[in-house]
């Protein structure tokens, strides 16, 4: 009997401990799945953008290498958490405007790659400033239900007590779902802001000249 009593006590203890563990695990799992809820391009645009941003924020907040501006790591993160949801060819094509047609497929590819690296550098500075107080709030969506080209508006607070920054995303509905192709930071659309620079450089030294100029910028630090 005594033996039995002895057996019971540790058993209840371990049961409650297990229950605790299970609970802890469940919460962790839930947090983890919430964090890595893979953005679904077939969702409504605001939810899709929110998921992309959340995924990115979670990774950035927990990564010391980003803070040190390790470009290899930043590029990895961009490839994994941003590029799948962006129609980058379209971004480059629209920035190159009428010159896109004059470029060979190889030039188009090279231009898109060079431009992508430029933009990663553009935003890498902002990415390193993200800390635990960084928040992004999606503003009420104004797109029409059947629109194929919409804007998702958001307000980003980079760190405590600083002025919120308005960031908008422009998306287009493609066969595989929504994809982001332009971004607006504080009233300035990205594509629009690169159009003149692109045409200026192409007029001066051709499409290869533009690619070279972008790559040259990218190799500087």
Partner 1 sequence: MAIKRIKHWVLAASVLVLTGCASTQGPENPADPWEGMNRGTYAFNDAVDRAVFRPVAELYAFVTPRPLRTCIRNAYLNLGEIWSMINSNLQQRHVEAINTTGRFLLNTTMGLGGCIDVASMQGLPRVKNDFGVTLGVWGVPQGPYLVLPLLGSSSVRDGVGTGVDFVGNQLDTIGLIPNVRLRNSLWGLEVVVRREALLTVSETVDRTALDPYSFIRDAYLQSRTALVSGGLDAQELPDYEDYEDVQADERALGITQETNE
Site for partner 1 in 188-217 (CB under 8 A): 188-189, 191-198, 200-201, 203-204, 210, 213-214, 217
To which residue do tokens 């595989």 refer? 176
Looking at 13, 69, 102, 132, which residue binds partner 1 (CB under 8 A)? Answer: 102
Looking at 22, 30, 147, 160, which residue binds partner 1 (CB under 8 A)? Answer: 160
- How many residues are recorded in the chain? 221
Part in contact with partner 1 (CB under 8 A); list of ranges 20-28, 48-56, 64-72, 154-162 = 154-162
Is residue 101 a contact point for partner 1 (CB under 8 A)? yes
By CB under 8 A, the count of residues binding partner 1 is: 53
Looking at 9, 38, 42, 98, which residue binds partner 1 (CB under 8 A)? Answer: 98
State both tokens at 110.
């090279």
C-alpha count within 13 angstroms, C-beta hemisphere, residue 151 = 12
DSSP class of residue 78?
H
83 vs 94, beta carbon nearer partner 1: 94
73 vs 195, beta carbon nearer partner 1: 195
Beta partners for 172?
A: 149, 179
Is residue 220 a contact point for partner 1 (CB under 8 A)? yes
Backbone angles phi, psi at 159, to 5 degrees: -145, 165
Is residue 67 a contact point for partner 1 (CB under 8 A)? no
Q: What minimum distance in Å lies between the beta carbon of 91 and partner 1?
A: 10
What DSSP assignment string belongs to 13-70? HHHHHHHHHHHHHHHHHHHHHHHT----TTS-HHHHHHHHHHHHHHHHHT-HHHHTT-
Q: What angle do CA 85, 90, 94 make, to 5 degrees?
A: 140
DSSP class of residue 163?
P
Looking at 126, 138, 173, 183, which residue binds partner 1 (CB under 8 A)? Answer: 126
Helix (H) or strand (E) holding 75: helix 71-81
Residues that bind partner 1 (CB under 8 A): 90, 93-94, 97-98, 100-102, 118-119, 121-122, 125-126, 129, 142, 149, 151, 153, 155, 157, 159-164, 166, 168, 170, 182, 184, 186-189, 191-198, 200-201, 203-204, 210, 213-214, 217, 220
């Amino acid at each position: 009997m005594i033996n039995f009593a002895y057996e019971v006590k540790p058993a209840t203890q371990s049961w409650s401990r297990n229950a605790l563990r299970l609970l802890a695990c469940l919460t962790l799992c839930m947090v983890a799945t919430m964090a890595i809820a893979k953005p679904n391009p077939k969702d409504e645009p605001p939810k899709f953008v929110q998921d992309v941003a959340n995924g990115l924020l979670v990774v950035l907040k927990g990564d010391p290498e980003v803070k040190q501006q390790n470009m290899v790591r930043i590029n990895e993160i961009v490839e994994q958490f941003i590029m799948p949801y962006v129609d980058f060819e379209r971004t480059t094509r629209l920035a190159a405007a009428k010159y896109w047609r004059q470029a060979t497929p190889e030039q188009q590819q090279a231009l898109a790659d060079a431009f992508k690296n430029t933009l990663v550098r553009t935003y890498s500075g902002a990415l390193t400033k993200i800390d635990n107080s960084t928040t992004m709030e999606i503003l009420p969506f104004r797109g029409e239900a059947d629109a194929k080209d919409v804007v998702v508006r958001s307000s980003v607070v980079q760190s405590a007590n600083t002025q919120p920054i308005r960031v908008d995303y422009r998306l287009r509905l493609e066969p595989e779902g929504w994809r982001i192709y332009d971004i607006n930071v504080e009233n300035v659309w990205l594509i629009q802001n690169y159009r003149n620079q692109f045409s200026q450089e192409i007029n001066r030294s051709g499409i290869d000249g533009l690619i070279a100029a972008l790559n040259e910028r990218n190799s500087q630090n």
